[in-house]
Amino acid sequence: MKLSDFRVLTFDCYGTLIDWESGIYAGLQPLLHKGDITLGRDAVLETFARHESDQEAVTPGMIYSDVLAEVHRRLAAEWNIAATDAEHRRFGASVPDWPAFDDSTAALEYLKRHYKLVILSNVDRASFSGSNRRLGVEFDAIYTAQDIGSYKPAPANFEYLLDHLGRLGHGEHDILHTAQSLFHDHAPAKKFGLASAWIDRRHDQKGWGATMQPPEGAAYDFRFPTLIAMAEAHRREVG
C-alpha cells in the first residue's frame, strides 16, 4: 500500500489540522483560575475528553458550540466552581480562536495538488468556518456533525461520508482517512474498510489528551508524527 494509491484524503480537523488541545486548554484558563484549580494540562484535557464524549453521545443533534458550552458547565460543576451562562457560552464560541498547527497549511497546499481534500469533523458549520480561515485552504467537501446529526465515532458519520463521496464518484478504495484520534476516527474507519493515516500529534507525550482511550484493536495503515511528514513521504514516493 502506498500513499499515491489514493485519490481522496478525508480529514478530521481538530487535533489533526487545528491544535485543539492548546485551544481547549487556553479556553479553560478563566475557569481554572476562577476555581484555583491546580490540575496539570493533561489531567484537564482528560477530564474534558470524558465530558465531551458523554455529552456528544447524550445529545447527538446538538451543535458543537452548544456541546462545548455544556461541557464547560459540567466541568464547573465537577470542580465546584460558580460560573455564569455567559462564561459557558464564551467557551462554546471559542473554536475559531483555536490555532492551526504550524505545518497544516503548507502540508495541505502540497497535498491539494495530488488529492481531493475532504473534512469529516465533529463540529458545527459556523465554528469550522473560523478554523478554515486559519488553514487558508479550500476543501473539496466539508461534512460536519451538524450536517449529519451525530458525532464520531458513530457509524452514521462514516456512512454519510461514503454515501456523499460515492455520489461524487469516489469509492472506499479511493479514500485515505487522515486523522489524529484513534478513538474518533481510526477505529470506526477500519470497520468501514477504509485505509487510514495516523497523524500522531502526541507522539512525544504520554496518554490520550483530549480524546478518549481507543478501543482494543484500533488500527491504521500509515503513521506520521506531523502532517508535513506525511506530505514529505508522498513527495519522496512520487519522486
Q: pLDDT 10s per residue in the chain (239 long)?
A: 999 999 999 999 999 999 999 999 999 999 999 999 999 999 999 999 999 999 999 999 999 999 999 999 999 999 999 999 999 999 999 999 999 999 999 999 999 999 999 999 999 999 999 999 999 999 999 999 999 999 999 999 999 999 999 999 999 999 999 999 999 999 999 999 999 999 999 998 898 989 989 888 789 999 999 999 999 999 999 98
- The verdict on pTM exceeding 0.85 is yes
Whole-number Å distance between alpha carbons of 94 and 166 = 34
Q: Which of 172, 173, 158, 166 is nearest to 1 (CA)?
A: 173
- Spell out the domains of the chain, with CATH numbers in brackets: 3-19+99-238 (3.40.50.1000), 21-97 (1.10.150.750)
Kindly report, residue by residue over 186-198, the tens digit of the pLDDT. Answer: 999 999 999 999 9
Enumerate the active-site residues.
Answer: 12
Q: Which of 160, 137, 135 is nearest to 150 (CA)?
A: 160
Kindly report, residue by residue over 139-150, the tens digit of the pLDDT. Answer: 999 999 999 999
3-class secondary structure, 197: strand
Q: Phi and psi of 121, rounded to 5°?
A: -135, 145
